[in-house]
Chains A and B, each alone.
Chain A
Amino acid sequence: MVLRIEAKWEIPYVHSAGEHATKFFEALKEKKILGVKCPKCQRVLVPPRAFCERCYVDTDEWVEVKDEGVIETVTINYARFTGLPDPPYAVGIIKLDGADTGMLAYLGGVDLTDWKKAHEKLKVGTRVKAVWKDRPEGRITDILYFKPVEE
């Protein structure tokens, strides 16, 4: 039997969101979602970034998109991993009304016990709306999850 040495990394960081994205986080405090429009390809990019990687031009035109959209895809996680959310939880990509790109987000408001039944309720193309924190703090986690809209 060889010697086994246990180790753990606990290294604090303070990340900068950058001047550009900070505008997006400020808007979240008012429950508004902002994107940027590329002056060249005209795509509205959400989450916003300071340049369009395809056209390699600055993206300074801010536009507000809806906090409602459609599910592009979804998965429900049932396994428990160190430091990750408690299962089960659903994660998907939502294309918000007014945006040309999808946004990674939690999905909720649906019983996740049986994945097949849950996928039926969270089908690709299902309309969903954001459920916000009562008092948004200007963080991405202000959007708690998206839930299907009753039609």
Chain B
Amino acid sequence: MRRAAVIGVGQTKFRTRRDDKTHPELTREAVSRALEHAGITMDDVDAFVFGTMDPFDGINCPDRWSSTAAGFGKPFMKISTGGTTGLTTGIAAYQHVASGLFDVVVAVCTQRVGENVDAQPVLNTAVDPIYERHSGVGAISVAAIQATVHMQKYGTTEEQMAWVSVKDHENALKNPYAHIKKKIGVEDVLSSPVVSSPLKLYECCPRSDGSVAVIFASEEKAEQIRDDPAWILAESSISDSYFVGDRPDLAVWDSLSIAGRRLYRLAGIDDPKKDIDVAELYSPFTIQEILELEALGFAEKGEGAKLAEEGVTFVDGDMPTNPSGGVLCTNPIGATGLVRLGEASLQVMGEASNQVDGAEVALAHAWGGTLQFHALMLVSSHKKLRR
């Protein structure tokens, strides 16, 4: 494997509906911005990897339509792993370059969750029709059952979970691309209607329309193209059992811990708290950031809930998470994982809209399926981990 880096990031504004544009027009908006950010043109791109989660957009294989804006006549493939899609697409594009087969590759993900009147029944079609679909289970209920166990096992409180939401909403105010922009306090979260107990409305993500593109280049090309690329230190991914009930303990995210340890070993990280400066985590529901912080070694088991409450994960804290406002404020599902990588890359380039001072190493994460898949990427302003 050869070294590769992110050399360009482009996002559309994310909104409930982007009535102004069609699927490929949104894709083009993100790709054009990423090319502009990298300072290259379509002619410089060798291949495209496209990601989306069917059928939120109400068209099956929207990659057919969107490919017209994703490298006409060039090598093209589509990736889909539920909510993990965005970051899996990033990993696939990175592997295109790291393998030595291509020099410049664009990962682009477009999703129109907002054109779908209601996302939960679509998520329910991702559940098998034999044993589990009748239960009406979707994304919110699986997060809620994690919360129930975490609260009972570790004493995590509603207030502590609310702090995660307060932090993400405050961060989103600084991000011009973020969907939900609203200053809220703990009381607002606690008094919002219960959706799936114990989770309340302000603890759940919106449905967003939009697109994001991230451009990868080989070491040689990256250095020619820009002074400050975001070097990929490592990536890792994992699949877990299909049935939620197979997990021995829902209060911990074992598969994410395993994927995290693989990532840290590859990157040479001993202590993620010291070695990682900022994390963009896939947490569409408050409880999930808490579980992710624990699984990834940023907090001891059962202690993750204290971090937002004590200010540690705020942008000026010791371990900032989701300075972009995160998934809680913007969720174009199949594109969301790639937004995490784009924002993590901008952090180490020093160009993020809500910049963490001196960020050199940033983590991007996504999960998908009913708590089933995880993907992780680690980017840095340096080619190797510096301590």
Contacts and interface: CB of A to CB of B under 8 A. Distances in A.
Interface of A: 2, 4, 7, 9, 13, 15, 17-18, 21, 45-47, 53-54, 72-79, 81-85, 89, 91-95, 101-106, 115, 118-119, 123-124, 140-141
A104 B239 CA distance: 20
Given A76-B197, A77-B136, A124-B148, A83 B19 contact: no
Contacts of A45: 246
Given A2-B19, A75-B148, A78-B196, A84 B124 contact: yes
B130 A140 contact: yes
Contacts of A82: 117-118, 120-121
B86 to A, nearest CB: 24
Interface string B136-167: 11101100111111001100000000000000
The 4 closest A-B pairs by CB, nearest first: A102-B245, A75-B144, A115-B197, A81-B120
B270 interface: no
B130 A21 contact: yes
A104 B132 contact: yes
Given A93-B145, A102-B245, A4 B196 contact: no
Given A17-B130, A115-B197, A84 B120 contact: yes
A13 B124 CA distance: 15
B148 A74 contact: yes
A82 to B, nearest CB: 4
A101 B249 CA distance: 10
B300 to A, nearest CB: 21
A104 B244 CA distance: 8
Contact of B250 (A17, A73, A81): A73
B20 interface: yes
A106 B137 CA distance: 10
Given A75-B197, A101-B245, A83 B137 contact: no
A106 B134 CA distance: 10
30 contacts: A2-B19, A2-B20, A45-B246, A47-B243, A53-B241, A72-B245, A74-B145, A76-B194, A77-B196, A78-B195, A78-B196, A79-B196, A81-B120, A83-B121, A83-B124, A84-B136, A91-B135, A91-B141, A93-B145, A93-B245, A93-B250, A101-B243, A102-B244, A102-B247, A103-B245, A104-B135, A115-B198, A119-B198, A124-B152, A124-B153
Contacts of B144: 75
Contacts of A15: 129-130
Interface string B196-221: 11110000000000000000000000
Contacts of B135: 91, 104-106
A123 B246 contact: no
Contacts of A123: 152
Contacts of A85: 136
Contacts of A76: 194, 196-197
Most B Cβ at <10 Å: residue of A75, A84, A124: A75
A104 B149 contact: no
Contacts of A105: 135
Contacts of A118: 197
Interface in B104-145: 117-118, 120-121, 124, 129-132, 134-138, 140-141, 144-145
Which of B55, B117, B131, B199 is the most central at the interface, judged by chain A CB atoms within 10 Å of its CB? B131
Interface in B173-198: 193-198
A79 B195 contact: yes
Nearest to A122: B148
B72 interface: no
B246 A102 contact: yes
B134 A93 contact: no
A15 B130 CA distance: 8
Contacts of B149: 72-73, 124
Contacts of A13: 129
Nearest to B60: A9
Contact of B134 (A92, A94, A95, A141): A141
Contacts of A79: 140, 193, 195-196
B120 A78 contact: no
A118 B147 CA distance: 15
A102 B131 CA distance: 13
A92 B145 CA distance: 7
Nearest to B58: A7
A82 B199 CA distance: 20
A37 to B, nearest CB: 15
A77 B152 CA distance: 19
